[in-house]
Structures are given as structure tokens and as C-alpha cells.
């Protein structure tokens, strides 16, 4: 049973527009949340994270929002650039468990 769900396998946006990627989780014990970006045949690279005590974290063009009551987080990319085209994975973890649980990823395509 998937604990972390990314329900959109793909997303296509125009350059300069906002990209919104969504993630839902089931385990209320999760207390930190991360987004990774991955190119084909490469390892994931860390983008941005948020802890459960916050509802927003911003880093340049990337903002992560956390809605704990809805067990939902989202990643906003503004403005989107063609170089942002990649697979984005949501990951969660928490408690004494040092392991991360990943979603299936969303393929973002930013069109020039």
C-alpha cells in the first residue's frame, strides 16, 4: 500500500508559467518532507525540504507548501524554465525511522 502518492504521472507547462506538483501521504507520523529532481540515468538531487512545524518553505524559484491536516504537500516552481524538465519525487520520513519513503514521481516538461 503506497504511503506516498503522486497522482499525476506527468505535467506539461509553458516556459515562464508556474508549475505545481502535488503529493499526498498517509502516515501522520511523517514529520519531514523533501522534493528531489531526477534526470534519466542519473541519481536524484535534493531540491527543497520542509519540516512539519512549518507550512511553507521558499528557496529561489522553488516553494514547498505543507497542509498537515490534509496530509498534502505541493511544490511550486515560478517561473518554470526548460531546464526544470525532469522527474520530481516527493519523499517523506519521520520519528526514529531514518529512512525516506518516495512517491512514484511526476515527469515535468517545460516547453519553450
Q: Which residues bind other proteins (CB under 8 A)?
A: 2, 4, 9, 32, 34, 36, 41-46, 49, 51, 89, 91, 93, 98-105
Q: Is 1 helix (H, G, I), strand (E, B) or coil?
A: coil
> Which residue's CB is nearer to other proteins, number 49 or number 79?
49
Report the C-alpha gap between 7 and 21 in whole angstroms: 9
Min separation Cβ 26 and other proteins, Å: 14
From the CB of 49, what's the least distance to other proteins, in Å? 5
Smaller CB distance to other proteins: residue 29 or 78?
A: 29
Residue in 108, 100, 74, 102 with CA at minimum distance from that of residue 89 = 102
Give the nearest distance from C-beta 109 to other proteins in angstroms: 15
Q: Is cis: bond before 79, omega within 30 of 0?
A: yes
Residue pair 85/78 in contact (Cβ under 8 Å)? The answer is no
Amino acid at each position: 500500500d503506497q504511503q506516498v502518492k503522486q497522482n499525476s504521472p506527468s505535467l506539461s507547462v509553458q516556459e515562464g508559467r508556474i508549475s505545481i506538483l502535488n503529493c499526498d501521504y498517509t502516515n501522520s507520523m511523517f514529520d519531514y518532507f523533501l522534493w528531489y529532481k531526477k534526470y534519466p540515468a542519473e541519481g536524484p538531487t535534493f531540491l527543497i525540504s520542509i519540516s512539519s512545524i512549518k507550512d511553507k518553505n521558499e528557496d529561489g524559484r522553488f516553494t514547498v507548501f505543507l497542509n498537515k491536516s490534509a496530509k498534502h504537500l505541493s511544490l511550486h516552481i515560478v517561473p518554470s524554465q526548460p531546464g526544470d524538465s525532469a522527474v520530481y519525487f516527493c519523499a517523506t520520513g519521520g520519528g526514529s525511522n531514518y529512512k525516506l519513503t518516495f512517491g512514484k514521481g511526476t515527469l515535468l516538461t517545460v516547453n519553450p
